[in-house]
Amino acid sequence: MDALQGFFYGLGVATDGSNLLAALAGALMGTAVGVLPGLGPVAGAALVLPVTFLFDPAVGLIMMAGIYYGSMYGGSTTGILINIPGEAPSIVTAIDGYQMTLKGRAGAALTLTAIASFVGGTVSVIGVMFFSPVLSQVALVFGSAEFFALTAGGLLVLSRITGGSFASGFLPMALGLMLATVGVEAVSGYARFTFGTRDLLHGFTLVPVVIGAYGIAEILFLVDNYSERPRAPKVTWRELFPTRTEWRRSVAPWGRGTIIGFLFGLLPGPSATMSSFAAYRLEQAVSRHRKELGTGAPEGICAPEAANNAAATSSLVPLLALGLPFSAVGALMIAAMMVQGIQPGPLLLVQNPDIFWGIIVSCYIGNVMLLVLNVPMVGIWVKLLSIPTHFLIALIIVIASIGAFSVHNAIFDVYVLLGMGIVGYFLRKMGFQLAPLIVALMLGPIIEKHFREALYLSNGDPAIFLQGPIAQAIWLIILALMIGTPLVKWWRTARPSARRIKAD
Amino acid sequence: MADRIHISTAKARICTGALMLVIFGVYLWQAIGLPTGRMNAPGPGLFPIFVAGIIICAAIITIFDGLTMLRADETFDLPLGRPLVRTLAVLGALLMLALLLPIAGRVITPFLTILAITLTLSDRSWIHSLLWSVALTALVWLTFIELLGIPLPRGVLLSF
């Protein structure tokens, strides 16, 4: 099945009534999650994960993908209107977006960001549609050693480039791998690190760990700095239309942001956040109006928004083609597949084309829905901000507990939620990154499987991990990224122009 | 009374690294008790030994990272006073939910949790909090129990 045939096949799947509803629900929930404080896309997707088990696998996965890219649309709304970005990728958008609000151009800023998100998301889906099947075909020749290199190496790279010092990502990664080894081991059925308790036989389930580390920790941050939110300005229907100049200045940044976002999405790490910063930096370098950036320039909102949506969408490539989650939301989508008995990986395209093409085409549909719903419904999204924070916190705590409990119907998971909330809170306070912990917890059993399979196939010869040309190439790329990242960082701070700026 | 305490990030990281060393000790002690198998037929204990190696590396790297940060004088703050009370109240409400759910069941427990949190965080009257807690509990009931059919415990006090 080529990409076009796949597209029409996926169109049939995605336009099925339940899948259309799932895309709509995901898009709406994602926007709400992006607008509201206290829940990010990761915790939002984790909350719906147990609910997805009640439906067909495609329904759940389409809904989770919708939450992820929907939150990118919603995250910018609060940043533009009240200078409080809903999500990390919208931090950059808030710089010029809020300045536009102060100039009375809030409506135009909201319209331009919604279109930027649409352009980024839609163009990126086209890339995903053509690139994923090719990568999937290539990955069919991968053996255990190659997959070990991809998973273990990818995790190492994620821990290195996810932000902060090396320890900031490496320590959470080690914690995640440790938690992944707890419970009954898949091959021999041996109970590991359970200390004789029945509760630990299941191991640490992804849902309570994710909701705790992201959702509960975020709630603790919110309570820690508790204050009523500033009132958002009213935006009338007429104000939503940008001027001709604003339209003209937005086109090129949409294109540049989309390309940057698509490329960043293919890499492990917080690609949506990194791509929005990179897109802003590019505008600072190449835009004709670069001197206006920071004072309410349309380029400052269009490029980052197109980039973060393109990255959120293109991160589906490693997920669908290789079965590798390089983000926390990706890890949840892999978990959703595995619970429903679907084997993620290169064979997904052959064994479950409905899932593969259904998710891709639903992204087109979801992006159209978001564009149609977001701009006219901006008043409703703004109204969400008037919900008092204490009700929101109480509701999130109860829903999070129900979500954690419902995976195994076990109270133990609510205690895990509480524990991970505290751990996540302190790790974030100290500047550690949480994504490597989540991805390591998900990838741990997969890494172990390929590690043991490779040793078994090579009759115990560890040289197998470096023997094949593909494995060697993957390790070389990983080595280059591991060494290259600190070198680039050093060069950026040590070059004479950077030193001059610091001195000024 | 100040409502913030400033903690040195460097010292906190050194303590975290030291804690990881303790975790490494316990993990390794458990891991070496697992059957490792042979290299051509690896047992369930082989990969954990590999993970133990990563844990000790993480501990050492974090301690080293903390030591290099000592000069930077970077800090983060933790709540004290009223913000600390609010934070502990939210954690306490979550703990209460975990403890009460098997006993008080799927209606009373969410209601008490929501009430406890709104009473702690809101400046409005207790009647306002009470009424909203009833409404939000009804919303949770309708969505998760009636609509999605999630089998939350009925509890031993009341069987609804």
Span of A217-221, A366-370, A373-377, B127-131 with lowest mean pLDDT = A373-377
pLDDT digits (tens, 9 = 90+) for A239-282: 888 999 999 999 999 999 999 999 988 877 778 888 999 999 89
When pLDDT is cut at 50, 70 and 90, the band that residue A494 belongs to is low
* A chain contacts of residue B151, beta-carbon cutoff 8 Å: 406, 409
Interface of A with B in 167-226 (CB under 8 A): 167-168, 170-171, 173-175, 177-178, 181, 185, 187-188, 190, 192-193, 216, 219-220, 223-226
Q: Is A164 on the interface with B (CB under 8 A)?
A: no
Span of A84-98, A220-234, A407-421 with lowest mean pLDDT = A220-234
Amino acid B1: pLDDT: 56
Q: Give the start-to-end residue ranges of the domains of chain B.
A: 4-78, 80-147
Amino acid A225: pLDDT: 79
Alpha helices by DSSP H, A430-495: 435-457, 464-467, 469-494
Cα–Cα distance for residue pair A492/A487, rounded to 1 Å: 9
Strands B4-8 and B75-79: antiparallel
DSSP state of A286: H
Amino acid A115: pLDDT: 92
Q: Is B136 on the interface with A (CB under 8 A)?
A: yes
How many A/B residue pairs have CB atoms within 8 Å? Answer: 184
In chain B, which residue's Cα lies nearest the Cα of A460? B40
* A chain contacts of residue B12, beta-carbon cutoff 8 Å: 429-430
CB A448 within 8 A of CB B51: no
* A chain contacts of residue B51, beta-carbon cutoff 8 Å: 174, 177-178, 181, 444
pLDDT digits (tens, 9 = 90+) for A287-333: 898 889 989 999 999 999 999 989 988 988 888 888 888 788 888 88
* A chain contacts of residue B144, beta-carbon cutoff 8 Å: 399, 402
Interface test with A, best of B91, B134, B140 (most A CBs within 10 A): B91
B113 with A398: Cβ contact below 8 A: yes
In chain A, which residue's Cα lies nearest the Cα of B66? A167
pLDDT (mean) for A70-76:
81
pTM value surpassing 0.90: no
> What ipTM score was computed for the predicted complex, to two decimals?
0.94
Interface of A with B in 400-429 (CB under 8 A): 401-402, 405-406, 409, 411, 414-415, 417-418, 421-422, 429
In chain B, which residue's Cα lies nearest the Cα of A430? B9
Cα–Cα distance for residue pair B14/A122, rounded to 1 Å: 46
Question: Which CB contacts under 8 angstroms, 24+ apart, belong to A406-413?
Answer: A406/A50, A406/A51, A406/B150, A406/B151, A406/B152, A407/A49, A407/A50, A407/A205, A407/A207, A407/A208, A408/A202, A408/A205, A409/B151, A410/A199, A410/A202, A411/B98, A411/B101, A411/B102, A411/B153, A412/A199, A413/A205, A413/A207, A413/A208
DSSP track, A124-173:
HHHHHHHHHHHHHHHHTT--HHHHHHHHHHHHHHHHHHSSSSHHHHHHHH
DSSP track, A378-429:
HHHHHHHTTS-HHHHHHHHHHHHHHHHHHHHT-THHHHHHHHHHHHHHHHHH
pLDDT (mean) for A486-499:
67
